Amino acid sequence: MVAKIWSSLLPAVAIILMVVLGAGCERRGGEDFVAGYNADMFTFAVAADPQTLDPGRMSGAPEGRIAFNIFEGLMMPGPSTQDLENPDDVVVPGVAHSFDVSDDGRVYTFHLREEARWSNGDPVTAHDFEWSWRRVLTPNFPGDYVQMLWILENGQEYSQGEIDDWSQVGVKVLDDHTLEVTIREPTPYFPQLVAFYTFYPVPRAVVEEHGIRWTRPENIISNGAYVLADYRPQRDMLLEKNPHYWDRDNVKMERARVRIIDDINAVVNAYRTGMLHWTGTSLPVAQIAGLLTHPDYVREPMLGTYYFRMNVSDPDHVLADNRVRQALAMAVDRRSLVEETMNNLYYVADTFVPPMEGWESGSARLEYNPSRARALLAEAGFPDGEGFPQVEFLYNVDENHKLIAEAVQAMWQRNLGIGITLNNKEWRTYLQDMSTLNYEIARAGWIGDYNDPTTFLDLWESTNGNNNTGWANEEYDDLLAQARLETDPETRLQLLQRAEEIVMREGPVIPIFFYTNNFLVSRQLEGFEPHNRDIHLLRYLSLPDDTE
């Protein structure tokens, strides 16, 4: 993204922000406090208890933070996404030390390390991947990311019960250390997909023995650089170096503590008092101004969008009327939210897909137009908001979400004459309400799972497990299906642009801003590099003064 000078900040602060954005991940001098001086090991925070530690079932950021460290896929996220000579280096070899690709781009042959081991010492084999992927593709498997595995030949057909012969799915074990994968169409970013946790292996014997309890500390077996040694819900987790990990000699930190802190102001206080080496979560807007000059403050661009979603599953609900949805969208002053409410820390989003290399959004862009919004609401039968029912706005517990919800509540009252009720819930309940469509309007955020616009556009397909709105559009689904088969980059771009235009014009989404990540991390920490998906694996990090 291009750095900007924001008029609402003092010139000196604006210059600082320009430097930060230009450098990607940069620290500054200023008022000091010492990170981690009160911690007995490397310690960071997550904002909530993980909903699950099963990589096949998870979908949230707190869960992913843990999964990337205790499990390992065929490929893994690399240390950084910035200044790469080869864009393919966003992922690095994991359990697979290499792979071959057929001339038509559809067949990948992964060569697994013979030294790869589960944390109990058993070998990790190609059979583990085949079984784990089959598990996720089993019809009615309770995972939001099941659709990611539909990239496999006949994966969708098997998942939806159209075929029951697993041998027809594009996964074949050639031997214990060779996995042949056939995908339904050439997909250059497929190595990025297998680096995502939904594609990670799980231990069959443990899953079959313990069922959903297999991820408890006393049961869990994993294959990543670290193991889950202890877990105290709503308090903390202890991760310890996996003694059987194939690359254990290059894993420098022996242990790490993960503090579970759902109040981001408390996260900052924990950092200030030396309890944390890394906040792990983005900082509260109200405190960032006082931290801009601290040498531990870091600002990273992110591949992510903050947005509102609307539940349109009930055809008799006011939100089922697109005129109402468009009125709500046009009545939100997103520039005011970013510049005033969020202190210019993010970028105004007038599209759903954020800027990224090789992508340019089309012509359908969201504008702030209160008069047009009022006209649309009147057309829908609610002139000046008269007769409009009370609607609830759901958000998960977080000071920043609260600021935005209250500001939008005031905008809709002022611009449309309608009242909304605010409801905040803790993370697990919030996720449950999303998946069961137990909400009307809700805040949401989406960080890309790989560097391609489809990681955002696939979200609104009618069959996507993360859609959670009840919205479906046949033309939209068809455009994405065509784009998957299209080999010409320019034609593919046009198909995806048309799909995004449908979402902006008719979809159940109001984009608000494009993320940046604002956090604190110890200046003593080595190996912490910029990453546009906020993935920072412990195996790449080290503390010179580690107490171990």
* Average pLDDT, integer, range 36-60: 95
pLDDT, tens digit (0-9, with 9 covering 90-100), for 447-503: 999 989 999 999 999 999 899 999 999 999 999 999 998 888 899 999 999 999 999
Residue 522: CATH number of its domain: 3.40.190.10
Give the pLDDT confidence score for residue 31 in this predicted structure.
Answer: 54
Residues 295 and 399 both lie in one domain:
no
CA distance 203 to 225: 16
Which residue among 194, 213, 232 closes a domain? 213
Residues 374 and 364 both lie in one domain:
yes
- One-letter amino acid of 297: Y
* Average pLDDT, integer, range 311-317: 97
53 in a structural domain:
no
Residues 489 and 366 both lie in one domain:
yes
Residue 363: CATH number of its domain: 3.10.105.10
Give the pLDDT confidence score for residue 87 in this predicted structure.
Answer: 86
Give the pLDDT confidence score for residue 20 in this predicted structure.
Answer: 35
Indicate if the pLDDT at residue 8 is higher than 80. Answer: no
* Average pLDDT, integer, range 331-355: 95
**DSSP H or E stretch at residue 134:** helix 126-137
Closest listed residue to residue 443, CA positions, set 419, 457, 427: 427
Residues 482 and 360 both lie in one domain:
yes
The three state secondary structure string of 55-96 is CCCCCCHHHHHHHHHHCCCCEEECCCCCCCCCHHHHEEECCE
Give the pLDDT confidence score for residue 358 in this predicted structure.
Answer: 84
pLDDT, tens digit (0-9, with 9 covering 90-100), for 353-381: 999 888 999 888 999 999 999 999 999 99
pLDDT, tens digit (0-9, with 9 covering 90-100), for 436-454: 999 999 999 999 999 899 9
Q: Model-level pTM?
A: 0.85
* Average pLDDT, integer, range 16-41: 59
Say which residue, 300 or 503, is predicted with more confidence.
Answer: 503
Residues 279 and 325 both lie in one domain:
no
Indicate if the pLDDT at residue 30 is higher than 50. Answer: no
pLDDT, tens digit (0-9, with 9 covering 90-100), for 148-195: 999 999 999 999 999 999 999 999 999 999 999 999 999 989 999 999
Indicate if the pLDDT at residue 14 is higher than 90. Answer: no
Gap between the terminal Cα atoms of the chain: 40
5 in a structural domain:
no
Do 39 and 275 form a contact (C-beta atoms < 8 A)? yes
Residues 318 and 439 both lie in one domain:
yes
* Average pLDDT, integer, range 405-415: 98
* Contacts (Cβ under 8 Å, ≥6 apart) of 213: 219
Q: Determine how many CB atoms are found less than 10 A away from the CB of residue 27.
A: 17
483 in a structural domain:
yes
Total domain count for the chain? Answer: 3
The three state secondary structure string of 293-322 is CCCCEEEEEEEEEEEEEECCCCCCCHHHCH
263 in a structural domain:
yes
Residues 468 and 361 both lie in one domain:
yes
What angle, rounded to 10 degrees, do the helices at 399-416 and 264-272 form? Answer: 140
Residues 494 and 352 both lie in one domain:
yes
Which residue among 213, 248, 280 closes a domain? 213
148 in a structural domain:
yes
546 in a structural domain:
no
Strand 441-447 versus strand 391-396 pairing type: parallel
135 in a structural domain:
yes
Residues 279 and 262 both lie in one domain:
yes
CA distance 452 to 100: 22
Strand 107-112 versus strand 347-348 pairing type: unpaired
Residues 319 and 265 both lie in one domain:
no
Indicate if the pLDDT at residue 25 is higher than 60. Answer: no
Residues 497 and 423 both lie in one domain:
yes
Residue 148: CATH number of its domain: 3.90.76.10
Distances (CA, A) of 237 to 31, 66, 212, 480, 546: 31, 9, 19, 40, 19
Task: Fill in the DSSP letter of residue 540.
Answer: G
10 in a structural domain:
no
Which residue among 213, 232, 264 closes a domain? 213
- Token pair in block for residue 264: 């981001």
Domain that holds residue 41: 28-46+221-300+518-540
- Token pair in block for residue 41: 């090991």
Indicate if the pLDDT at residue 21 is higher than 80. Answer: no
Residues 313 and 372 both lie in one domain:
yes
pLDDT, tens digit (0-9, with 9 covering 90-100), for 246-272: 999 999 999 999 999 999 999 999 999
